[in-house]
Structure 1
């Protein structure tokens, strides 16, 4: 029964003015995949493959962890998608041997920069203890990087030279972050750069 002071029109008006329940927001699959990839880059770079949590990745991406399996099949599938982003060595194209050595030394000395952007090589180093991640690292990063650099170097033993140079670059990260020796700290960059130059030049020019 309606109250004494309420008319049928009043009740209809109130009903029409009630806030409507919003319909569930449609999820954009492309945006969700990109959000998961962005969150995975951060997590894998922070902890490496074994330490990465799919729950953390999904939470940072603002979605349910089940969507990782939906879009990438598994954690290793997500890792493979992240590692597709091989470092682009095209900026080294056309450089003289000395210029190439200087550029590679810059890359090596920048490996321990915590403010740097996503770096798949750092992810690979932090994930090196994972048997599950090993083949992905080799096939999506290691071999493609060697092939890129070898094509730029040319000549005899180009693949081996490229592999050695990239090992020197990644070794600086291990020395500075994993070993954390005072002798390799940033305050010694000038001396380290000179030594890197000598080592890389010896590799690059060997057999020429």
Structure 2
């Protein structure tokens, strides 16, 4: 029997091939530098099959991450309201996810990222592109400042996740979520919207 060549038909093997190609592409190049067409080519399928199985590139990325939530839906909802309380609402969103049944899946990804560079790259892309970029967009933050502000916010969120859910340093695991929102929210708010400190060079000139 002659083996047929060319594009794979649509089946479960095709879906797995697309996910594997996407996982590699996102980890190696980052979300922004990867196209659906390139992923399809790496998987040996037509780009239409990628859209058939996953829809958009964002949804394909969420499938690669096995994400328990969709930030495109949750982040805008969390940031609706007064800008002066955006930090608290963002911390409340993180806690609500990690304290819910979806938190188990999120924790598995987070633990894997601590020991696996490929997963760490994907998690960085997820946090930066899917969560923090959406947050700074919703708040209309200066694009020139957005990367630094997003990174500073990440220090608070990652620290909260590690201490409360991974290392479980008491009393944080037992602390009421609203107390953590009140304690950590102002720091996140400051990193999001308060004026950034002057650079080291500028401070030296002013002194």
TM-score (norm 1): 0.53
Matched-pair contact (CA < 8 Å) for 2:65–2:122: yes
SS in 2 for 1:110: helix
Residue in 1 aligned with 2:179?
191
Residue in 2 aligned with 1:162?
150
Q: Which runs of 5+ in 1 are unaligned?
A: 1-28, 33-65
Residue in 2 aligned with 1:207?
195
**How far apart are 1:155 and its partner, in Å?**
3.6
CA-atom RMSD, angstroms?
3.7
Pairing 1:127–2:94 present: no
**How far apart are 1:173 and its partner, in Å?**
1.7
CA-to-aligned-CA distance 1:83-131 (integer Å, 9 cap, x gap): 28552222145432233223212123235425236865x4542222211
1:87 aligned to which of 71, 78, 84: 71
Distance in 1 separating the partners of 2:105 and 2:76:
16
Distance in 1 separating the partners of 2:176 and 2:66:
34
Distance in 2 separating the partners of 1:138 and 1:189:
25
Which has the higher Rg, Structure 1 or Structure 2? 1
Distance in 2 separating the partners of 1:159 and 1:153:
14
Pairing 1:138–2:85 present: no
Matched-pair contact (CA < 8 Å) for 1:105–1:197: yes
**Alpha carbons of 1:109 and 1:138: their partners in 2 closer, same or farther (altered >3 Å)?**
closer
- How many correspondences in the alignment? 146
Distance in 1 separating the partners of 2:148 and 2:127:
16
**How far apart are 1:159 and its partner, in Å?**
2.9
**Alpha carbons of 1:162 and 1:176: their partners in 2 closer, same or farther (altered >3 Å)?**
same
Residue in 1 aligned with 2:201?
none
SS in 1 for 2:102: coil
Distance in 1 separating the partners of 2:77 and 2:120:
27
